[in-house]
């Protein structure tokens, strides 16, 4: 039995993603306003968007990526997330485990004196007061060793996020200005070497004008899809 099936996740939910053009952001924000409010990250930010940085890990042969490419029913990814300029802790270690369309998310916190030492120092030991934090951090480190994960990709985008005011749990997020760079170290700080996802000189096909693509994501508890 997988160790992931033995521990309670932080969240267990459905996640539905769509690509929309920028001009729909305000239309959708207005449409959902009777049922949703901006989350605490978005409220005080310019245009209600806050920066999100994510360092993604994978195995040497990109096992997690292959699971996604081939549409495996069970798949996983591991990342560490930061906000603002990526230099200010805390950092958030996350595991997302997807089984038959249901996403289980495990999250633990790393402080400045822990990152990245908890991943690269053999003598590091988890010592948390909160049992859930202890379990999730131990799980992340155990999987990091089992899969011999390596840093692969740093992404950055700005997010406008809402939470439902009529459901126990439901979120709407819109991610824009998405960029990335290949990475083999543990830095969480983006810079001007990042490549935009809508760069038409790299990605050809039915792309929107650079900077115009937005990822709309709907998230809700399992068994509680909003109608």
The per-residue pLDDT for range 177-211, each reduced to its tens digit, is: 999 999 999 999 998 889 887 655 544 555 555 55
The per-residue pLDDT for range 115-153, each reduced to its tens digit, is: 999 999 878 888 889 999 999 999 999 999 999 999 999
Mean pLDDT (whole number) for 50-79 = 95
- State the CB neighbour count (10 A cutoff) for residue 99: 15
User: Which residue, 96, 141, 94, 142, is CA-closest to 119?
Assistant: 141
The per-residue pLDDT for range 42-61, each reduced to its tens digit, is: 998 989 999 999 999 999 99
The per-residue pLDDT for range 150-171, each reduced to its tens digit, is: 999 999 999 999 999 998 889 9
**Spatial separation of the C-alpha atoms in residues 143 and 224, rounded to whole Å:** 30
The per-residue pLDDT for range 84-114, each reduced to its tens digit, is: 888 888 999 999 999 988 999 999 999 999 9
CATH of the domain at 57: 3.20.100.30
Model pLDDT, residue 5: 42
Residue 61 placed within a domain: yes
User: Which residue, 124, 93, 74, 97, is CA-closest to 7?
Assistant: 97
Backbone angles phi, psi at 147, to 5 degrees: -95, -5
Residue 132 placed within a domain: yes
Domain count, the chain: 1
Residue 38 placed within a domain: yes
Residue 112 placed within a domain: yes
Residue with tokens 């997330």: 81
Residue 226 placed within a domain: no
Q: Would you give the DSSP letter of residue 3?
A: G
Domain span including residue 97: 3-200+211-221
Q: Assess whether pLDDT exceeds 50 at residue 17.
A: yes
Residue 111 placed within a domain: yes
Mean pLDDT (whole number) for 33-48 = 93
Residue 205 placed within a domain: no
Residue 206 placed within a domain: no
The per-residue pLDDT for range 1-15, each reduced to its tens digit, is: 344 444 445 788 989
Q: Which letter, b or e, does each residue of 127-140 get, where b requires 16 or more Cβ atoms within 10 Å of its Cβ?
A: eeeeeeeebbbbbb
13: helix, strand or coil: strand
């Amino acid at each position: 039995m997988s160790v992931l099936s033995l521990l309670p996740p932080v969240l267990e939910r459905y996640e539905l993603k769509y690509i929309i053009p920028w001009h729909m952001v305000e239309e959708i924000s207005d449409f959902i306003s009777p049922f949703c409010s901006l989350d605490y990250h978005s409220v005080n930010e310019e245009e209600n968007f806050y920066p999100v940085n994510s360092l993604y890990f994978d195995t040497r042969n990109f096992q997690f990526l292959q699971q996604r490419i081939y549409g495996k029913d069970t798949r996983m990814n591991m990342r560490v997330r930061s906000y603002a300029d990526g230099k200010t802790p805390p950092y958030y270690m996350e595991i997302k485990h997807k089984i038959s369309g249901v996403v289980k998310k495990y999250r633990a916190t790393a402080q400045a004196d822990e990152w990245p030492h908890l991943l690269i120092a053999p003598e590091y030991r988890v010592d948390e007061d909160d049992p859930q934090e202890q379990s999730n951090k131990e799980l992340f480190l155990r999987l990091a060793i089992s899969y011999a994960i390596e840093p692969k990709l740093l992404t950055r985008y700005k997010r406008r996020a809402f939470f439902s005011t009529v459901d126990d749990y439901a979120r709407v997020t819109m991610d824009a200005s998405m960029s990335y760079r290949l990475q083999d170290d543990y830095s969480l700080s983006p810079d001007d070497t990042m490549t935009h996802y809508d760069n038409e000189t790299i990605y050809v096909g039915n792309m929107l004008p650079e900077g115009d693509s937005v990822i709309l994501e709907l998230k809700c508890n399992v068994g509680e899809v909003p109608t």
